[in-house]
Amino acid sequence: MTADDYVYGWQRTVDPETASEYAYLYGYVENGDEIIEGDKEPSELGIKAINDYELEIQLDNPTPFFDNLLALPSLFPQPQDVAEEKGENYAKTGDDSVYNGPFTLTEFEGAGSDTEWSYTANEEYWDKDNVDLDKINVSVVKESSTGLNLFNDGQTDDVVLTGELAQQNVNDPEYQSIKSARTTYVEVNQEDENSPFKNKDLRLALSYAIDRESLVDQVLGDGSEPSTNLLPQETGKDPNTDKDFTEVSESTLEYNPEKAQEHWEKAKDELGIDSLEFDLLAEDTDSTKRVGEYIQGAWEELEGMKVNSTTVPFTARIDRSTEGDFDAVVGGWGAEYADPSTFIDLFESGSAYNFGKWKNDEYDKLVEASSTTHVNEPEERFQDLIEAEKVINEEMGVIPVYQKAEGHMVSDNVKGIVSHSAGPKYDYKWVSVKK
């Protein structure tokens, strides 16, 4: 691996022909946005190799969290000879990929179709003497009960539990709850000028109607926590006090059926309607289906509100969200890096990830100030982000529901799994298994 592998990999990813969904991360690099828009060539990206082992990177603007971005797979190096040899099949399967980490992906036939694969120790890895495992076998098991049976039979060492099974095993010494810097939220479609969801009172009614505490305790039971606002924990700290963003920001979320009904009545008057029927879209995984059903039931407690539930596979949910083909959708976001901007930037009016098309001029100005006027002033920048979150919470531009955690049963024989709340989730380099 040399510096040229970074130059090629970055230019390839930012190239519009590659159609990388994470190309936006290169918007911080000089000419990145212009290349993504097709106005400049990938070769004009602000990166060059000084020699085999030194890179020079130019940014369009100061980016306080840029060092965190460098840990993301989307900014990893890519060897030109392998990418060109594999062509359209590059990275589609384990055999069509290339690796320089502690493990290689083996027996993987392709995303969306394969249900079993392995991580095999990489004999070419520079620090292979400190990798204890030879192989990690992975199986997709959609039902928690099946996974638990496999675990109890000694056929697997780490399984995910949800719902009642997580609750039943929470006191087991082999049970772990692993928190993610991820918020599950509901977006409502506000793109059409005539959309009822452009009404603030309707959005507030929907939020007040959700008992988040009951949802995480009774439906999920996996250690997930009710959202206090849009950002989850461990997504940034106050530069003065080192307190977590969620401790400093004002919480405006609460379960209050009386307020829900009050805002619903106001919304009906303002919209000139007596009832409202709409569709709630969710993924077809066990836990998300349960969440969708719970939210559906909570909203239908509001007199005159009828909610139809539709569940689809993850890829279909993403496609429909991107295309704006929904009324309300259970979605969410996991922090790519530990900075509040990874969430706040999502809901700028021009963001491709603002699926509901919520728009607020004050919010846009605060987000812009955090990345331009105050980008080199940590205290002022942090205050911009605090104020921006206050705006989106008070306006209920999106409806935060809970911070995601995963309930796991992990064998006592397995030691050394490292989990990260933001960015790539797990690191298995230091794992060992007691014989």
User: What phi and psi, each to the nearest 5 degrees, are found at residue 221?
Assistant: 60, 20
User: Does the residue 165 lie in any domain?
Assistant: no
Q: What is the pLDDT of residues 225-278, one digit of tens each?
A: 999 999 999 888 999 999 999 999 988 899 999 999 999 999 999 999 999 999
Write the CB contacts of 279 (distance below 8 Å, at least 6 apart in sequence).
307, 308, 309, 310, 326, 327, 328
Q: Which of 63, 90, 117 is the last residue of a domain?
A: 90
Q: Does one domain contain both 253 and 398? A: yes
Q: Does one domain contain both 274 and 374? A: yes
Look at residue 256 in the predicted model and tell me its pLDDT.
97
Q: Does one domain contain both 201 and 62? A: no
The Cα–Cα gap between 311 and 291 comes to 11
Residue at token pair 């605090």? 386
User: Does the residue 160 lie in any domain?
Assistant: no
Look at residue 425 in the predicted model and tell me its pLDDT.
85
User: Does the residue 389 lie in any domain?
Assistant: yes
How confident is residue 5, by pLDDT bands cut at 50, 70 and 90?
very high
Q: Which residue has the higher pLDDT, 286 or 149?
A: 149
Q: Is the pTM of this model over 0.75?
A: yes
Q: Which of 280, 265, 256, 261 is closest to 208 using CA atoms?
A: 256
Largest CA distance in the chain: 70
Q: What is the pLDDT of residues 90-123, one digit of tens each?
A: 999 999 999 999 999 999 998 877 889 999 999 9
Q: Which of 49, 75, 90 is the last residue of a domain?
A: 90
- Which 8-state DSSP code applies to residue 232? P
Look at residue 130 in the predicted model and tell me its pLDDT.
96
Number of domains in the chain: 2
Residue at token pair 């969306």? 112
* pLDDT of 285 strictly over 90: no
Q: Does one domain contain both 344 and 195? A: yes
Q: Does one domain contain both 254 and 356? A: yes
% of the chain exceeding 70 in pLDDT? 100
Look at residue 14 in the predicted model and tell me its pLDDT.
96
User: Does the residue 110 lie in any domain?
Assistant: no
Q: What is the pLDDT of residues 375-394, one digit of tens each?
A: 999 999 999 999 999 999 99
The average pLDDT across 138-167 equals 91
User: Does the residue 209 lie in any domain?
Assistant: yes
Q: What is the DSSP string of 68-82?
A: HHTTSGGGS---HHH
* pLDDT of 322 strictly over 80: yes
The domain that holds 243 is classified in CATH as: 3.10.105.10
Domain that holds residue 9: 3-90
How confident is residue 191, by pLDDT bands cut at 50, 70 and 90?
very high
Say if strands 305-312 and 276-283 run parallel, antiparallel, or are unpaired: parallel
User: Does the residue 311 lie in any domain?
Assistant: yes
